[in-house]
Structure 1
Amino acid sequence: MQQSTGAATSSAADSGMGATDLVSRCVGDGGGGGGNSCSGGSSDPAAINTTISSKQADAREPQEQQVAIHYLASFHELCVVTALLPLVTLFTCFVTAYVFQYDDVHETHCRVYNIIPSISAITGVSPQRYFWRFSIALHIGPRIPIAFVYKNYYRSQLRRISPAQVPQTSLLITLILVLNCIEIASLGGVTYISNRENYPVHERIFITFMVCSLCYMLATIKLNGILNAGQALSEKQLLSIKWKKILFAVSILSTVGLLVFFAKHRFYCHDLAFSWFAFFEYLIAIANMLFHFTIIWDFPSQFMMIVQGPRENLAQYLSNRPKLD
């Protein structure tokens, strides 16, 4: 009877019978002589269904663990748009406010003659304020992941330096990340808290932005000097480092000029003092934007992906990709 039962099972499997037909054959053959050798010695239909279900799950498992790329974008293009967005918006706000709202943007507490409005003035009137805030919202979004990309990029270069330098350099990388995040948050603060709505808070956030921006520039230049010491750099890398230094120098000199003319305007109300203050403010803003724009030389051909799949499969997939320093 066991032989006939096994034959029935084999015949059912070969002929492509369903689970119900297979159970019926097994139970029917085993009922007459008490045999129970179907499906590994068990005539229980539930056990047979469990076995079939587990085999079907095993067949589907490799498909569920495949790595799938749902989104692929040029990181270079993303950085270009992110960096240019506030610059283009600032220019648009300046032109429109200067042409159509001249009196509003030149109003100061001293009521003296001025020809250049400040950034807070041109982005604090309507409708420029909405345009500026919308632009900064789009700008800040990519800035946060870019900050972490830079952190991982710098950490990948720690193998270039001696082991004794790694702890201090790692600390410097973390400091750069923190300064960058504070700068981004401060940019949002000075954008959405205007000087007309709450001047004391706006002023303090602006100072925070200035300090963190300058410290971030200095720390970045210092870190590049450590990581690239004795290294053969490409033309784009040399260009990036060169312009970072130039823009940092412009920012330092502009900050000194801004403080001098701010004091002249605030305490002495000199003619054109506020215009000079605004001029240096524009230089600082543009230098800051261009400093971040050097990312186009740091990441000239990278891509950003959104990938689905198990972490271990993803790690194996990425480990097989070529790596670029």
Structure 2
Amino acid sequence: MKLPKFVAFPFLFFCFFLSVRASQCVYLRFVWPAQKLYNFKRSQRTLSDTPNPPPTSPPPLSPISPRCSAKSVVNAHNNRAGVCVCVRPCVYVCINTTISSKQADAREPQEEQVAIHYLASFHELCVVTALLPLVTLFTCFVTAYVFQYDDVHETHCRVYNIIPSISAITGVSPQRYFWRFSIALHIGPRIPIAFVYKNYYRSQLRRISPAQVPQTSLLITLILVLNCIEIASLGGVTYISNRENYPVHERIFITFMVCSLCYMLATIKLNSILNAGQALSEKQLLSIKWKKILFAVSILSTVGLLVFFAKHRFYCHDLAFSWFAFFEYLIAIANMLFHFTIIWDFPSQFMMIVQGPRENLAQYLSSRPKLD
């Protein structure tokens, strides 16, 4: 059964919309409340462990101006003639530090203020980045399996199969356009995330002995390189389909597989070095545990993929290609979920674009520890 394109496109977008809404509902229903509850309990535990400070009397209000109007606050800020401190919502206590206009003019020019132009939750960005290809892959599989069954099951052996490969369901129209658009949105945030991980690991080098720092720093650089090659290979496999250029597609896919497995192994090894003898939080332990499980799943699935690929390529066994496709889906899902563990590595961080004095930024960059 082949659906006309003027019907397939709206149906494809409808299925994708339903998948996105379903994943959003699952996140808001289960993940977000659990995270909020965990943060609340941790804050309550912190408050219970902190001794209560002795009660102090509130600062007296200024006899000249007990409350500052909006106009006086603005004038005080512009002329540097007063300091307003918020002691409770919508009430400002003004300390009388009046300065004459001549003294204000004689001062140095006002320093550049820090301005935040963009602020986004790094946690939510990582969730969307990780779930986007998974939701799109599910949408492409359902629509291609239902409406383009014969096209996605076509192989050179002409044998019976029931599961199409990822290359097959993302190589037909209109699924190929949807998959490529999704991967383009997915690759964009993954490049800065790779460098965020590099800086995150390098900030933990102080935990280990100085003798281990050079080798561990080299391992962090290797992880960054493997991650970037994996991202580039994912783009190459997506935009060079097996129908257009099979030899190039096959080589890029092998590169993606090798770099993905090496990246997982190097990440697990690095975590074992940095966290040796350290007291880890519940989320850190959960992240390390699932990284090891997903790496084991990827290794076993790779072995099964190679075995059934040989049976399909050289012997043309029935259902061999279906088993190959099954293990291919397991590898893809394990890879996506491995990167999804970033929600436990960065549970409450933010990404921001800040404008501020260049002197402060230059001072920060010059004061960073040199680890190389």
Q: TM-score, normalised by structure 2?
A: 0.69
Q: Which SS does the other structure have where 1:201 is aligned?
A: helix
Alpha-carbon offset, residue 66 of structure 1: 1.9
Seen in structure 2, the aligned counterparts of structure 1 residues 111 and 298 have a Cα distance that, compared at 3 Å, is: same
Could you tell me how far apart the structure 2 residues matched to 1:283 and 1:239 are?
21
| Structure-1 separation of matches of 2:246 and 2:21 | 81
In 1, are the aligned partners of 2:301 and 2:330 still within 8 Å (CA)? Answer: yes
Change in Cα spacing, 1:23 to 1:316, as seen in structure 2 (3 Å) is farther
| TM superposition shift of 1:308 | 1.1
1:214-250 Cα distance to aligned partner (Å, 9 max, x none): 0000000000000000000000000000000000000
Q: CA deviation at 1:99?
A: 0.3
Considering only CA atoms, is the larger Rg found in Structure 1 or Structure 2?
1
Asked if structure 2 preserves the Cα contact closer than 8 Å seen for 1:70 and 1:308, the reply is yes
Distance across 2 between alignment mates of 1:320 and 1:191:
42
CA–CA distance in structure 1, aligned partners of residues 117 and 316 of structure 2: 59
Task: Name the one with the larger helix percent.
Answer: 1
How many residues are paired up?
Answer: 294
Q: Deviations over 1:35-81 (max 9, x none)?
A: xx999999xxx999999999999989754622211001000000000
With 55-64 and 256-265 compared, the bigger mean Cα shift is at 55-64
How far apart in 1 are the matches of 2:25 and 2:304?
Answer: 94
Flag the 1:314–1:38 CA change in 2: closer, same or farther, 3 A. Answer: closer
Alpha-carbon contact 1:67-1:314 (below 8 Å) kept:
no
Structure 2 spans left out of the alignment, 5+ residues:
1-18, 27-66, 73-92
Task: Normalising by structure 1, report the TM-score.
Answer: 0.79
| CA gap 1:72/1:40 in 2 versus in 1, 3 angstroms | closer
Q: Aligned partners of 2:274, 2:69: CA distance in 1, in Å?
A: 65
Q: CA shift at 1:310, angstroms?
A: 2.7
Output the CA distance in 2 between the equivalents of 1:292 and 1:88.
15
Deviations 1:97-155 (A, max 9, x none): 00000000000000000000000000000000000000000000000000000000000
Are the counterparts in 2 of residues 39 and 48 from structure 1 also a CA contact under 8 Å?
A: no
Mapped pair 1:38 → 2:37: no
Shift of 1:309: 1.9
Cα separation, partners in 2 of 1:164 and 1:107, compared to 1, 3 Å? same
Distance (Å, rounded) in 2 between the aligned partners of 1:38 and 1:92: 58
Mapped partners of 1:25, 1:98: distance in 2: 24
Change (3 A) 1:97 1:68: same
Give the drift of 1:312.
Answer: 2.9
In structure 2, what is the equivalent of residue 72 of structure 1?
119
Cα 1:222/1:23, change in 2 over 3 Å? closer
Instruction: Give the CA deviation at 1:291.
Output: 0.1
Whole-angstrom CA distance in 1 between matches of 2:197 and 2:105:
41
Paired with 1:143 and 1:25, the residues of 2 have a C-alpha distance of 20
| Structure 1 stretches of at least 4 aligned residues deviating more than 3 Å after TM superposition | 20-27, 37-42, 46-64, 314-325
Q: Which has the higher contact order (CA 8 A, sep 6+)?
A: 1
Residues 67 and 313, structure 1, Cα contact 8 Å, conserved in 2:
no
- Structure 1, unmatched stretches of 5+, are 1-19, 28-36
Task: Verify the 8 A CA contact 1:116 1:279 in the aligned structure 2.
Answer: yes
- CA shift digits 1:225-280 (9 cap, x unpaired): 00000000000000000000000000000000000000000000000000000000
